[in-house]
Structure 1
Amino acid sequence: MPLEQEVRGMLIGGFAIVMGIVILTTLFLWIKNKNNSSAYIWTLAHFLFFTLAIYFFIKAISFDFNHPMASEEISLQFGIAGVVWAFSMVCLLMGIVNFSKRRRMEKSL
């Protein structure tokens, strides 16, 4: 898929800045609240797998479409990105479940 020359760099740079801020904030909150480590680990795993999914997505949209098997390669990259994204969403759900378990335990005390 043809893109303007600067678009790929702007996508990568913008995503890296935002994801860096999000990961640093999550690490800061984890250090501040050491009570619920498993929820923070699941959340960080989500961010890492989501970053990997974005890597495969950007690889797919910037693939050389003049390649003889470009359609198959792009489809494969999109498929890998989708599977990794789905796994990242499972990690996010596990983090949310662990955060809610912690809240329930605090309310019962």
Structure 2
Amino acid sequence: MPLEQEVKGMLIVGYTIIMGIAVLITFLFWVKNRNTSTGYIWVLLHFGLFSGAAYFLFKVIFFDINHLMASEEISLRIGFAGVAWSLSMFCLVMGIFNFSKTKKNNDL
């Protein structure tokens, strides 16, 4: 997809900074609250899989449209991104489930 020259770098750097901050904050909370480690592992796994989905989407955005099989390549990469995204959402839901389960156990 045709974009300005600077957009690629700005997207990659911006995404990396925001994801890095999110992972760092999650890791710091994990160190602070060791009793809910399973939930944090799921959330960190979510971040990793979501980053994989973003990687495939970045490959789609910056793909050479003059390639002979551009449509097929783009479709395949969008499919990979979708699978990675759906797995990351499953991990996020499992993390939320573990946090809510731990919260209920602490209330008793």
Structure 1 letter corresponding to 2:100: S
Q: Number of matched residues?
A: 108
The aligned counterpart of 2:95 is 95
Q: CA deviation at 1:30?
A: 0.3
Match status 1:80 vs 2:84: no
Q: Taking structure 2 as the reference length, what is the TM-score of the superposition?
A: 0.98
Structure 1 letter corresponding to 2:105: M
Match status 1:66 vs 2:66: yes
* 3-state SS, counterpart of residue 56 of structure 2: helix
**In the aligned structure 2, how far is the partner of 1:95 from the partner of 1:6?**
36
Q: CA deviation at 1:107?
A: 1.1
Match status 1:12 vs 2:12: yes
- Aligned CA-pair RMSD: 0.5
Displaced runs of 4+ in structure 1, greater than 4 A? none
Q: Extract unaligned runs of 5+ from structure 1.
A: none
Q: Taking structure 1 as the reference length, what is the TM-score of the superposition?
A: 0.98
Q: CA deviation at 1:35?
A: 0.3
Structure 1 residues 9-61: Cα deviation after superposition (integer angstroms, max 9, x where no partner): 10000000000000000000000000011000000000010011000000011
**In the aligned structure 2, how far is the partner of 1:67 from the partner of 1:47?**
31
The aligned counterpart of 1:28 is 28
**In the aligned structure 2, how far is the partner of 1:49 from the partner of 1:70?**
25
